[in-house]
Structure 1
Amino acid sequence: MTLDETLNDLLVRLFKDLLEIEGKALITDEFKDITTNDMHIIEAIGIEEPKKMSEVAKLMSVTMGTLTKAMDALTKKGYVIRERSTEDKRVVRVRLTDKGKSAYYHHESFHRQMIENVKGELTEQETTILIYALAKMVDYFQFIYYDTDEESEYMDWKKIKEENK
């Protein structure tokens, strides 16, 4: 197997396994009524001040319609409270209930354990190299897929490829 094939195999396996393992770790008996995506919405809302729906939609890279549908379900299940602004009735803020905060901390714990286990197997130098490599990957994906133009969520892959030849 070539280095490129090995790298491709590792990346594909990593992405697949991470999603599958995270799903199994997060959706326990206590949180069986929500999905992994719901957990990520809960994470985006956070435990600090209430967030505007538009802020959460942007963090999640989803439309307001998609987020509204998910929020309807999370509100009905008791994870989230929606509150209309008293200053501007168009603005809706969301915050986590105690149940939502419990889910948030559960998700946070999974990620903390994952980081501790990864770091536990690496030297400080290897950790620095891993962070650098992952940051370069994030930059690459941000550059390739996300447009800075507010009207378009994704860049045209072919156009970018042509521009960078």
Structure 2
Amino acid sequence: MLKNLEYLKSGNKKQRKAFKVINQLNIIEDLKIYSPILCGTIPLRIDTASSDLDIIMEVHDFSDFRNKINFLYGSCSQFKLKQKIIRSKSIVKANFIYDNFQFELFGQAQAVTQQYAYLHMVIEKYLLDTNPSWQCEIIALKEQGFKTEQAFCHMLELTGDPFEALIDYGQKEEII
């Protein structure tokens, strides 16, 4: 389900709108050489009003990627492009607004199915499928200011860095 955006067409109102906007921009097709995957809260139906569309990609040539992103989306509202280091890995991140959606394009020299955003989403989907009542509780925590990973760690009573704790939990429980 998570790798193919078709599920968004029959989702809630925000998911259907996200599907339309992603297709209008032609992001998946234009960036297909980077294996783009939509991650985050919108695919899981735990989004809030401020949730963005996170698209992660496998990128090895950051210069070409930056140029392509700038060419394709540089004219979008509030466009920002930066390269930095996260967890000892170089990344390129672009943010912009299109048709009232905030986009975050994230490129890292790692297979998308091994990136934290994807792994977190797999774990979170498993937890929501296993505990359907958590959906409302996670949204409530997010509306109180919790980040998504923090909210799930709170529900699981996990401590420490929520990004690492969720990965450790997923590995221990053999979810990922």
Same fold (TM over 0.5): no
TM-score normalised by length of structure 1: 0.29
Bigger-Rg structure (1/2): 1
User: Going by fraction, where is helix more abundant, 1 or 2?
Assistant: 1
